[in-house]
Homo-oligomer: A and B are copies of this chain.
């Protein structure tokens, strides 16, 4: 049996940089030889939640499924990296609680704290435009709430720091929590 790994859970608005920072983090974990899996909200939806919409209930169902898979992977020694908007605090806290092994919480909540107007100006996928035009309903930040984490392990402000800086701070925090051994020097 492996020692449990842990879950790195990214939360924040669409366009805050979750997948980008997760991708950078994944490269660094790979470089360190750490076993990991990225469970991207949109991709996992295809496998686990086809047919679900974006109502509060459907979102929660999708998020809980990702959380369950993440927890199961972590239990078996694989670091689960989850970039998921996950707008509701109670649901995130529920997943955090499920990611405790032998009473020890192994959950790193990373809040991508980027102002909505910055995310909307980026509008990488053109979703904000559609949400403003009423073509998408229940869009987080526009007509659906986002509940900020109260005590996230890491806060990243991707409008004020580079992707590499965000990823480095997350890794440093994982080391500090004892979840990762100190990493090798950057190449």
Q: Is A73 an interface residue (CB 8 A)?
A: yes
Contact A1 B33 (CB under 8 A): yes
Contact for A68 among B2, B47, B64, B76, CB less than 8 A: B47
Contact B68 A48 (CB under 8 A): yes
Oligomer: number of copies: 2
Q: Is A69 an interface residue (CB 8 A)?
A: yes
Q: How large is the interface on A (under 10, 10 to 19, 20 to 34, 35 or more residues)?
A: 10 to 19
Contact B35 A72 (CB under 8 A): no
Instruction: State the CA gap A18–B113 with chains docked (Å).
Output: 48
Q: Which residues of B contact A47 (CB under 8 A)?
A: 64-65, 68
Residues of A within 8 A of B (CB): 1-2, 33, 35, 37, 47-48, 50, 61, 64-65, 68-69, 72-73, 75-78
List 27 A-B residue pairs with CB atoms under 8 Å apart, sorted by A's residue number.
A1-B33, A1-B35, A2-B35, A2-B77, A35-B76, A35-B77, A37-B72, A37-B75, A37-B76, A47-B64, A47-B65, A47-B68, A48-B48, A48-B65, A48-B68, A50-B61, A69-B69, A69-B72, A72-B73, A73-B73, A73-B76, A76-B76, A76-B77, A76-B78, A77-B77, A77-B78, A78-B78
